[in-house]
Amino acid sequence: MPTGPVALRAAARARLQPLPGGPFVLEGGFWGDRQRLVSECSLPHAWAALEQTGRLANASPASLAGEQPYSGDTYADSDVYKTLEALVWEHSRQPSAAVHRLLVETAAGLAAAQAPDGYLHSWFQRPDSPGRYTDLQMGHELYCAGHLLQAAIAERRTGADFGLMPIAVRLADHLVERFGDPALPYLCGHPLIEMALVELFRTTGTTDYLDLAARMIDGRGYGTLGPGLFGAQYYQDSQPVRAAESPAGHCVRALYLACGATDVYLETGDRTLLDAMVTQWDSLVANKTYLTGGVGCRRKDESFGAPFELPPDHAFAETCAGVALFMWGWRMLLATGHGRYADLMELLLFNLLPAGLSESGTEFSYVNTLHRRRDNPEFGDKRPRRQGWFRCPCCPPNLMRLVGSLGFYLATQDDGGVQLHQYVSGRFEAAVRGGTAALEVHTGYPHGDEVLVTVLDGPTSDWTLSLRVPAWCGQVTLTVAGQLWPMAPDGEGYLRVRRRWEAGTEVSLRLAMPARLTYPDARIDGVRGCVAVERGPVVFCLEQDDLDEVPLESVALDPAAPLEGTFGPVPSVHATGVATAAPRHGWPYLPAVSAVVAGASLQLSLKPYYAWGNRGDAAMRVWLPLCTARAAER
């Protein structure tokens, strides 16, 4: 049976194990529909874009001979490899002769491009390049290698053979050979190779790969790479991994490194690494994460800001950083079993990540702002709206490979039973006492408040079904086999039902999700005096498209008025607001509080953040100013 992107060795120090019997199979619903959209629209769109922009030709003989222009920059191979990985996961669900042929042909091209010693990087193999390993800061050689390894790992895990794995093993063996000498520089300016090497160790059993990954983690933080354009912190080389108290520098780099460090802990049991990861995670969540799960606000170097530096209109919140944070959350969940990691994964799953994909499936976001103004300054390729493709198209295929493998990130098992962490419709199997249990989940989540779990098949035996109660949920009702089951979540955030299960037993979990107002920590200057609307795990936003003539920037929300939701095909939360008066001409500062509340009340219709921007380029904001009079009362 297919196993997922993370398949722990038997000796791994994990509290929880990924499902061994194949993925959770999504069936319709919020993510099942998106998985189909990616399959039918996004992946063909991405492959066409890779062809049209010349990415696929970079590894051709003519390109390697320098006889044609190069497409993109030193990261360009990774665009292809991530798309290959997405196609491999997709092919495992829906085999297709055309995709099979495409994968085999592409793998054959890569095998032909690979140097006799196993090296593979289409930019540095060209005669006009400065040569291998001459630019570890920004050369992306090991980063690209990591993505190739991950595509090959997906191939192996899904039981397929397109020819990728032999290329990956030769490349990894080359890396072990080349960087086996501790006296030589052995860091890549863009982490990722660490997690890929651990996974290749998990796949092949070759301990050299794990050892190299561990050395790369241990070797970081001593300035080996030099200051570069943005300083050593940019690529996590300013502080040893165990000494850093918060992820710092370029967000995607930092979070992939955290994945690798957590993976090394899981396989070696080096507790100091896990302790550092817990500290860094807690710091990240406490003061560097946007309400939507996004991270990063510094555009110049795509990095985290200082603690509580979370301006909504300058949120960078790259889709790739959301993917990386999701992947790190999964590893922390496996390591610790604590629901707070699954909570943040849920936040990403229903806010930042789906916002990265248009309803058409052919537009993607790089930047995920929380406030787009009507007169929004554009930032070139990285403008805060979805686009068909990018000069640096890192995000679209990254999202696609995650969506393709999403079924592996939703549930786990341990010796005592089964844990369901995310609520999507579908079915899965897990090993329980006495055999294999097949379970079905049916839910309208994230807008429907009931999750129905049915044991379809399996032995009649005692085991524990654990259901996560999200941190946002204050009232939960559990029914087991028609009986109310009074129970509160344990310290890890789960309801744990231990009983004798048999086929046909139904469990109903109701998570009360009234629309609610969320106030920001007073230390976040960018949203002081504002409020956000949430319902269940979903963050809502207000778009200019729903305001008729009133400018979005003039709207304030009345926190005393009730919130009402409608959750049909277009979910909305209705709130009440007012249009604030313009103060004085040309002077953006307001007179005394009492004079501010102007005009008649407005009925506001807020839509899910994940759906914003599907009606054009309109303005949007998540954080709404409070009516000033009301704010003064607070």
Sign of CA dihedral 10, 157, 400, 429: negative
Stretch that binds Zn ion, among 91-99, 313-321, 333-341, 542-550 (CB under 5 A): 313-321
Stretch that binds Zn ion, among 199-207, 255-263, 269-277, 318-326 (CB under 5 A): 318-326
Q: Is 73 helix (H, G, I), strand (E, B) or coil?
A: coil
Q: State the residue for tokens 């983690």.
A: 217
Nearer to Zn ion, 202 or 382 (CB): 382
407, 154 contact by CB (below 8 A):
no
353, 402 contact by CB (below 8 A):
yes
Least separation in angstroms between CB 361 and Zn ion: 18
Nearer to Zn ion, 17 or 398 (CB): 398
Nearer to Zn ion, 320 or 344 (CB): 320
Stretch that binds Zn ion, among 50-58, 172-180, 320-328, 481-489 (CB under 5 A): 320-328
Looking at residue 532, the DSSP 8-state letter turns out to be E
Least separation in angstroms between CB 285 and Zn ion: 21
554 phi, psi to nearest 5 deg: -95, 0
Least separation in angstroms between CB 404 and Zn ion: 17
What number of other Cβ atoms are within 10 A of residue 380's Cβ? 6
Helix ranges (DSSP H) in 158-226: 164-178, 193-204, 207-218
Least separation in angstroms between CB 386 and Zn ion: 13
Alpha-carbon distance of 190 to 469, in angstroms, equals 36
Alpha-carbon distance of 419 to 433, in angstroms, equals 14
Query: Is 323 an interacting residue with respect to Zn ion (CB under 5 A)?
Result: no
Nearer to Zn ion, 345 or 400 (CB): 400
Residue in 447, 357, 445 with CA at minimum distance from that of residue 398: 357
Q: Is 303 helix (H, G, I), strand (E, B) or coil?
A: strand
Return the structure tokens found at 486.
């009074």
Q: CA angle at residue 351 from 361 to 289, to 5 degrees?
A: 130
Least separation in angstroms between CB 149 and Zn ion: 19
Stretch that binds Zn ion, among 311-319, 347-355, 379-387, 562-570 (CB under 5 A): 311-319
Least separation in angstroms between CB 142 and Zn ion: 18
Residues of span 454-483 touching Zn ion by CB under 5 A: none
Least separation in angstroms between CB 318 and Zn ion: 5
Q: Is the peptide bond before 446 cis (omega within 30 degrees of 0)?
A: yes
Nearer to Zn ion, 322 or 577 (CB): 322
Least separation in angstroms between CB 319 and Zn ion: 6
Number of residues located near Zn ion, criterion CB under 5 A: 4
Stretch that binds Zn ion, among 218-226, 237-245, 310-318, 455-463 (CB under 5 A): 310-318
Nearer to Zn ion, 181 or 378 (CB): 378
Nearer to Zn ion, 285 or 395 (CB): 395
Least separation in angstroms between CB 396 and Zn ion: 8
Query: Is 320 an interacting residue with respect to Zn ion (CB under 5 A)?
Result: yes
Stretch that binds Zn ion, among 293-301, 312-320, 484-492, 514-522 (CB under 5 A): 312-320
226, 294 contact by CB (below 8 A):
no
335, 266 contact by CB (below 8 A):
yes
Least separation in angstroms between CB 373 and Zn ion: 23
Least separation in angstroms between CB 365 and Zn ion: 9
Q: Identify the H or E element spanning 497.
A: strand 494-501
Residues of span 369-398 touching Zn ion by CB under 5 A: 394-395
Residues of span 393-432 touching Zn ion by CB under 5 A: 394-395
Nearer to Zn ion, 175 or 325 (CB): 325
Looking at residue 69, the DSSP 8-state letter turns out to be P
Alpha-carbon distance of 564 to 472, in angstroms, equals 18
Query: Is 324 an interacting residue with respect to Zn ion (CB under 5 A)?
Result: no
332, 391 contact by CB (below 8 A):
no
Question: Which residue's CB atom is positioned nearest to Zn ion?
Answer: 320
Return the structure tokens found at 607.
């839509």
Q: Is 151 helix (H, G, I), strand (E, B) or coil?
A: helix
401, 86 contact by CB (below 8 A):
yes
Nearer to Zn ion, 222 or 379 (CB): 379
Nearer to Zn ion, 101 or 391 (CB): 391
Alpha-carbon distance of 74 to 80, in angstroms, equals 12
Nearer to Zn ion, 372 or 382 (CB): 382
Binding stretches for Zn ion (CB under 5 A): 318, 320, 394-395
